[in-house]
Amino acid sequence: MPMQNHELEALLELAVHEDFGENGDITTAALFDNERCSARLISKDTGILAGRSAFAQTFRYFDKNTEVRFHRNDGEVIAVGEHIASLQGKARSVLGAERTALNFLSFLSGIATQTHKAVSAAMEGGRAIILDTRKTMPGYRQLSKYAVKTGGGSNHRMGLYDMILIKDNHIDAVGSIAEAVKLTRRKWGSRYKIEVECRNLDEVKQALTQKVDILMLDNMDTDLIKQAVALAAGSLQLEASGNMDLQQIREISPTGVDYISVGMLTHSVKAFDFSLQIEIEHEQREPT
């Protein structure tokens, strides 16, 4: 789901306040007035591009007349040394927006790149779909989940409002899986999908007696997951979860689970490295 403009603008307001404070960009203000500049966005990594809109909108937030032209699309593989985008505008605006714009692009391209690696790992002998989680930086969920989709993954629930996920604390609080499902059905009927987190095979067996849509197999090893798949026998969808890395994804995808949810896609991703090379356009003076 792409991020809505007003949501991105709220993040931009926070970013500008963090960087500019009450005095603005005091370095650039001392060095430049109305000079214009051109700039080249260069990739210093290899991976998946994501975040073009956020990058461009950041510069236009500072100055709507700043021109940003991308040479590659979100979702495409980019390599070290590639010229990704060109910019033209006032030097003060471009320099003021530079770090915030690069932060967005580096963060989102890092998520997309890591997602692409996870999706590729899942396809090595398996068919599991890679899902993101709610382990996102507050305020950045829409952007983060957009980057996951750009990298080839899929979005799990967006928040607490669009899908029922009965987790271990819920089950322990009400006493049983059956009671938790009964209470949610009483409240919402069939309005929302219901997923139940299972910590062991006994809970899998309990959940299979209820009318639910998905079982989350939480922190189970590969052998237990295989047994859970056999117990379910295709009667509902299964999601494997719990500190997944690429090697675990390779091992678990062939077991027959439908989904693997991966928190590291958004909570501990390595930023993608870009460089913005800026050239100031000085006015030509007539010789005296």
Q: Tell me which residue of 236, 239, 264 sits closest to 252, measured CA to CA.
A: 239
pLDDT in tens, 175-207: 999 999 999 999 999 999 999 999 999 999 999
Task: Please give the Cα distance from 8 to 12 (Å, whole number).
Answer: 6
Question: Angle at the Cα of 79 (from 5 to 148), degrees rounded to 5?
Answer: 40
> How many helices (DSSP H) and strands (DSSP E) are in the chain?
11, 12
How many Cβ atoms are within 10 Å of 96's Cβ, its own excluded?
A: 23
Active site residues: 99, 135, 167, 197, 218
Judge whether residue 231 has pLDDT over 70: yes
Judge whether residue 2 has pLDDT over 80: no
Identity at 130, one-letter amino acid code: I
In this prediction, residue 285 carries a pLDDT of: 43
In this prediction, residue 283 carries a pLDDT of: 62
Torsion of CA 203, 208, 210, 211, to 10 degrees: 140
Band (pLDDT 50/70/90 cuts) for residue 208 is very high
Task: Please give the Cα distance from 32 to 90 (Å, whole number).
Answer: 9
Report H helices in the chain. Answer: 5-20, 26-31, 52-62, 91-122, 141-150, 168-174, 177-188, 201-208, 222-232, 246-252, 264-267
pLDDT in tens, 5-43: 677 889 999 999 999 999 999 999 999 999 999 999 999
Bridge partners, residue 69, by sequence: 86
In this prediction, residue 7 carries a pLDDT of: 77
pLDDT in tens, 77-91: 999 999 999 999 999
**Distances, alpha carbon 234 to alpha carbons 37, 181, 216, 240, 255, in Å:** 60, 20, 14, 15, 12
The pLDDT > 70 percentage for the chain reads 96
What is the sign of the dihedral through the CA atoms of 39, 60, 108 and 69? negative
Judge whether residue 287 has pLDDT over 90: no
Q: Which domains does the chain have, with CATH numbers?
A: 5-118+270-281 (3.90.1170.20), 121-267 (3.20.20.70)
- Crossing angle (nearest 10°) for helices 5-20 and 141-150: 120
